[in-house]
Amino acid sequence: MAAAVSLGGAAAASAQQSAVPRSLTADSATRAAIASRYPRDRSDTLPAFPLRRLAPGVYAVSGDTGRGVEGRPNAGFVVTPAGVVVIDALASPGEGRVLLRTIRTVTREPVRYLILTHHHPDHTFGAIVFKRAGARVIAHPDRRTLANAEGDDRLASDWTGVMGLQQMRGFAYADTPDIRVRRDTALIVGGRRIEIVRPGPAHTAGDLMVWLPADRVLFAGDVLVEDGVSMMVDGSSGAMLTALARIDSLAPRVAVPGHGRLATKPATLVAATRCYVLALRDTMRRAVAAGVRMGQAIDRLPPADRDRPVSLHSRLRRNAVRVYSEMEHALFDAAASQSAIAGEARRRAACPR
């Protein structure tokens, strides 16, 4: 794949054609996603990323906007008198270095903690930069995702093929937490209260969000993305609904999604995401109940962009596959429990009265 990426013009196009598989299995989708989502923008040479001050000492570091979940994610940081808390590390040591330079435009305080919202490489592969700068990594211990299903070495080499060696210079895995967080946890740094919220396994098994109650700012990770089509292939739609309800209960003033423009009316983005998830669950539940096969149900959706598995249409399809199987299991469980109940009733009928 690295060779295909480095080819030019028509040769690259045809090499990529043959490299991209016809069907989006978990594994092929992951590799194709890696191959297509990142333009080689040499962002490691930038002096700093765009910065938005959300509250005193609270900053969002803006990634790409208008591209859904393709491109550079958002990150953030909180400055306290006792040091800096960083939220997400971006996609490579190169991006991590620029993120650190961005932080240095605001403060010289040491970076104490790096909180990871989940274990996807576009949010964690810059983590080593902060670890080497002395930060302790706070994350959920469950690192399992489709992207690393074939192992960390495979993922790192695939990702290097896309980001380029320059961006990945100095890479080492650093997303295994020094401080493991499995449930809601408050971090008090320099007198500032930073709440780490466990929303459940919505986007991935290891999801966390960061909530600043005094400022009502939420860093939502990929539970929220700018177009309301959050990925659930590493999580579940049921947990996504629970996570969205959790965000509503927090009632944030501003939410930083994992990707794309900041939500200054978070309730609107949450509602749009919820409506998407509910509609998909309803459609797939009906399909399963009517005996429509998964392939047929998926064929009713707009075609996926074959070489862009996290494009909007590809996300719709991949989520649909996930939700179809969730609904199939749910129906199965219900049927199983109903037949179990019926079986017990039959056995009970034989008992003495």
Rank residues 222 and 326 by Cβ distance to Zn ion and give the closer one.
222
Point out which span in 20-28, 143-151, 177-185, 218-226 binds Zn ion (CB under 5 A).
218-226
Cα angle: 288, vertex 28, 66; to 5 degrees: 85
Point out which span in 40-48, 126-134, 152-160, 219-227 binds Zn ion (CB under 5 A).
219-227
- Over the window 104 to 133, marking each residue x when it contacts Zn ion by CB under 5 A and - when it does not, the resulting string is ----------------x-------------
In the complex, the smallest distance separating the C-beta of residue 152 from Zn ion, rounded to whole angstroms, is 16
To 10 degrees, the CA torsion angle through 179, 182, 184, 190? 0
Q: Binding to Zn ion by residue 140, rule CB under 5 A?
A: no
In the complex, the smallest distance separating the C-beta of residue 118 from Zn ion, rounded to whole angstroms, is 5
Tokens of 116: 């990871």
In the complex, the smallest distance separating the C-beta of residue 347 from Zn ion, rounded to whole angstroms, is 48
In the complex, the smallest distance separating the C-beta of residue 136 from Zn ion, rounded to whole angstroms, is 22
In the complex, the smallest distance separating the C-beta of residue 206 from Zn ion, rounded to whole angstroms, is 10
How many CB atoms neighbour CB 158 within 10 A? 20
Rank residues 120 and 140 by Cβ distance to Zn ion and give the closer one.
120
Contacts of 316 (CB under 8 A, 6+ apart): 229, 301, 302
Contact indicator for 81, 104 with CB cutoff of 8 Å: no
End-to-end CA distance of the chain: 72
In the complex, the smallest distance separating the C-beta of residue 352 from Zn ion, rounded to whole angstroms, is 59
Contact indicator for 137, 179 with CB cutoff of 8 Å: yes
Point out which span in 31-39, 136-144, 214-222, 276-284 binds Zn ion (CB under 5 A).
214-222
Point out which span in 23-31, 217-225, 245-253, 318-326 binds Zn ion (CB under 5 A).
217-225
Rank residues 88 and 326 by Cβ distance to Zn ion and give the closer one.
88
Restricted to residues 23-42, the positions that interact with Zn ion (CB under 5 A) are none
In the complex, the smallest distance separating the C-beta of residue 222 from Zn ion, rounded to whole angstroms, is 4
Tokens of 54: 């959300």
How many Å apart are CA 258 and CA 117, to the nearest integer? 9
Rank residues 158 and 222 by Cβ distance to Zn ion and give the closer one.
222
Restricted to residues 145-184, the positions that interact with Zn ion (CB under 5 A) are none
Length of the chain: 353
How many Å apart are CA 313 and CA 132, to the nearest integer? 39
Residues facing residue 59 across a β-bridge:
53, 77
In the bound state, the residue with its beta carbon closest to Zn ion is: 120
In the complex, the smallest distance separating the C-beta of residue 42 from Zn ion, rounded to whole angstroms, is 23
Rank residues 222 and 226 by Cβ distance to Zn ion and give the closer one.
222
- The single residue among 70, 222, 226, 326 that binds Zn ion, judged by CB under 5 A, is 222
Residue located via tokens 């040491």:
110
Number of residues that bind Zn ion (CB under 5 A): 2
How many Å apart are CA 152 and CA 172, to the nearest integer? 10
How many CB atoms neighbour CB 86 within 10 A? 30
Rank residues 94 and 121 by Cβ distance to Zn ion and give the closer one.
121
Contacts of 255 (CB under 8 A, 6+ apart): 217, 218, 219, 220, 224, 247, 262, 263, 266, 269, 270
Residues that bind Zn ion (CB under 5 A): 120, 222
